[in-house]
Amino acid sequence: MTLGIVTGLIAEARLARPLGLVRAGGGLPEGAVAAAEWLIEQGVDELLSFGFAGGLDPVLAPGAIIVPEAVLDGDLVYATAPYLSASLGLRGGTLLAGTTVAATAAEKARLFARTGALAIDLETGPVARVAARHGMPFAALRAICDPAGRNLPPAALVALDRQGAIGILRVLASLASHPAQIRSLIALGRDATAARAALRQRVRGA
């Protein structure tokens, strides 16, 4: 079996390369669909959504790994493949398919109360839909980057380009407009470092 891996960020794609063929979708749902379809055109047999996630469950710290048993996408629930998930770690809980970033602690709390999902990301829902359309098994491996109690700074919401790379000029422009966000941005950087380390360790053990 050939594993196709969809990420949002190019940096996430680099971490996932030991697992299979990788394509970054740029951090948007439509990019994730395009990446998954491209991977299928290359001949992959199964799909994996890989990378960072926003925490919804307040007990999950930065770097906590999630291998969900289901993906909640609106009114639909997609089950992940048990055998594929088992190769990635302990399977359990639900991941919420987001259409936009959950940027504030208040929004994350509202989503957790409504769905009970552990975390949210923008790629897993599209990957699940593409996999279902092609009758293909899929799974997700995600690490908490911004925990439930953290508000994302404005720079984090404008940083990515459509290829999944971080645009330094956009970050600097946001900092110039909102200099008070620097402490939040530094904290987010620490969280992202913990998430990267957790993913790297899990990939090495897979």
Domain boundaries, the chain: 3-205
Residue 164: per-residue pLDDT: 57
Compare 176 and 100 and report the one with higher pLDDT. 100
d(Cα 92, Cα 155) in Å, to the nearest integer?
32
- Contact predicate 143/115, CB 8 Å: no
pTM: 0.90
> Encoding tokens for residue 124?
């897993």
pLDDT over 60 at 10, yes or no: yes
* Segment among 15-29, 124-138, 160-174 with least mean pLDDT: 160-174
Among 120, 122, 144, 124, smallest CA distance to 199 is for 144
Tokens representing 96 are: 């919420």
Structure tokens at 157: 């919401």
DSSP one-letter code for 68: -
In three-state secondary structure terms, 187 is: helix
**Any idea how long the chain is?**
206
Percent of the chain, pLDDT > 70? 92
Residues 6+ apart with CB under 8 A from 117: 56, 57, 72, 93, 94, 95, 96, 111
Helices 182-205 & 168-177, crossing angle to 10 degrees?
A: 150
What integer is the mean pLDDT of 112-140?
97
Given a cut of 90, is residue 185 above it in pLDDT? no
DSSP code per residue over 91-158: --SEEEE-SS---SHHHHHHHHHHH--SEEESSHHHHHHHHHHTT--EEEEEEEEE-TTPPPPHHHHH
Fold of 3-205: Rossmann fold (3.40.50)
